[in-house]
Amino acid sequence: MENGKKRILIVMASVAGLTALVLALLASRGQAPLVQVVTVAREDLTESISSNGIVEPISPQIALAEFPTFVDKVTATEGQAVHRGQVILTLNVADVSSQLAKARADLLAAQTDLRNAHAGGPPDDVAHLESDLQQTLVEVSSLERNEKALEQLVPEHAATQDELAASQASLAKARAHLLEDQQKKQAMVRQASVSVESAGLLVREEQDNVQSLEEKVRSATVVAASDGTLYSLPVHTGDYVKVGDTLAAMADLRHVRVRAFVDEPDLGGLEPNQQVEATWDARLGQTWTGRTEQIPKEVVSHGMRSVGEVLCSVDNDNLELLPNVNVEVRILVRQRQGALAVSRSAVQEDHGQHYVFVLSDGEVSRRNIAVGISSATDYEVVSGLELGTRVAVPGNRELRDGMEVRPAVTN
């Protein structure tokens, strides 16, 4: 008997519970959906561009090997502070010094040839020819006087015709010799004139060669050009280096440059002297500040991206930001104080037209708006909304014009 009563009670309880569940489901079907609601308010907005970049020293002094050789001695260590005139390392210059000595001798020879060309020929040859020419002129002059005297003596029978003929023959021979010497001189002058240009060219070539070798000898002693930090020293004593190998790199690291890689769509808002913030994963929580300096004039490929390279100066007084490290960059493009603002989560876009759903009397209505600058969380409202307007946040729900909703939260 008691078992029967228990079964009846259990059935009645089950029916009551099922009835309550059905009533609850029916009631829920008639309720409007819950949506989060935000209010249009005055905010200080900052629009920024976020990207990545690489740290570069400003005006670095990078010493490169100008000839193949061995490192003789390294007198500094990587990372240390260096002073102007301090020797960092030296290279072996034995072979280059030998080449320089020969080049200097070749230059002297070329300069001598140029002087000789300007002088009309080699000094000894010129002097010998001039001496022969003067002697021949004297001889011709003497024979001409002798011939005239004989021509006067022959009619007076004071000299014979044979003596006159012999004198004339000697004069003719002397004149032929004089003509030959004059032709030799003219030929020497012409040759010297032609040689001036080629000799001058050879002198210039030898001068350039000497200057190049002297520069190589000077480059063998790597010296700090100014105070700074020796941030790269990839060579050691005894290493063999090739032309173009980096020997050392120095710079004043208190001021560095960040080369920021900004995506093409974000380039339009960039201007010089905008505030820059850089962060480095190796120094979490630390921020370096600076300014944009050079805005890109072209877009280049950077991996899979099309970017403009923005040069930014950054203060690095503590020397903690190292050259060639990768950093995150935030460029503050524009700011608005007390701007009329609405949450980005409430704004939607359709073919370039921004719009929101305004909440009024439990219903939402679509309203087109014009937006200005945007921060990470808000849009500036240029037109379409007033201060204090309540706006629904769609979330994952599709809102429709005239749809009834229930506000979940009011900000």
Q: Domain span at residue 362?
A: 34-45+337-410
Indicate if 255 and 321 belong to the same structural domain. Answer: yes
Indicate if 103 and 213 belong to the same structural domain. Answer: yes
Residue 84 tokens, joined: 């102007």
For residue 31, give every residue at least 6 positions away whose Cβ sits within 8 Å of its Cβ, in sequence order, or none.
Answer: 406
Computed on alpha carbons and rounded to an integer, the radius of gyration of the chain in Å comes to: 49
Question: Which of residues 273, 304, 335 is at a domain's end?
Answer: 335
Q: What is the pLDDT of residue 18?
A: 61
Q: Rounded mean pLDDT of 7-31?
A: 53
Q: Could you give the number of structural domains in the chain?
A: 4
Q: Rounded mean pLDDT of 29-46?
A: 86
Question: Which of residues 311, 335, 359 is at a domain's end?
Answer: 335
Do residues 252 and 226 touch, judged by C-beta distance below 8 A? Answer: yes
| Predicted TM-score (pTM) above 0.85 | no
Mean per-residue pLDDT of the chain = 85
CA gap 263, 49 in Å, rounded: 9
Indicate if 231 and 272 belong to the same structural domain. Answer: no
3-state secondary structure of 379: strand
Indicate if 210 and 104 belong to the same structural domain. Answer: yes
Least confident of 18-32, 116-130, 397-411: 18-32
Does residue 330 register a pLDDT over 60?
Answer: yes
Q: Rounded mean pLDDT of 16-23?
A: 51
Residue 127 tokens, joined: 């002097």
Is the residue at 12 inside a domain? no
| pLDDT tens figures, 85-115 | 999 999 999 999 999 999 999 999 888 877 7
Indicate if 125 and 215 belong to the same structural domain. Answer: yes
CA gap 194, 180 in Å, rounded: 21
Q: What is the pLDDT of residue 39?
A: 94
Is the residue at 275 inside a domain? yes
Least confident of 27-31, 55-59, 295-299, 357-361: 27-31
Question: What is the residue whose two structure tokens read 């001798």?
Answer: 105
Q: Phi-psi region for residue 155, left (φ > 0), alpha (ψ -120 to 50) or beta?
A: alpha
The backbone torsions φ and ψ at residue 394, rounded to the nearest 5 degrees and listed phi first, read -60, -40
CA gap 167, 144 in Å, rounded: 9
Indicate if 127 and 214 belong to the same structural domain. Answer: yes
Residue 235 tokens, joined: 């060579």
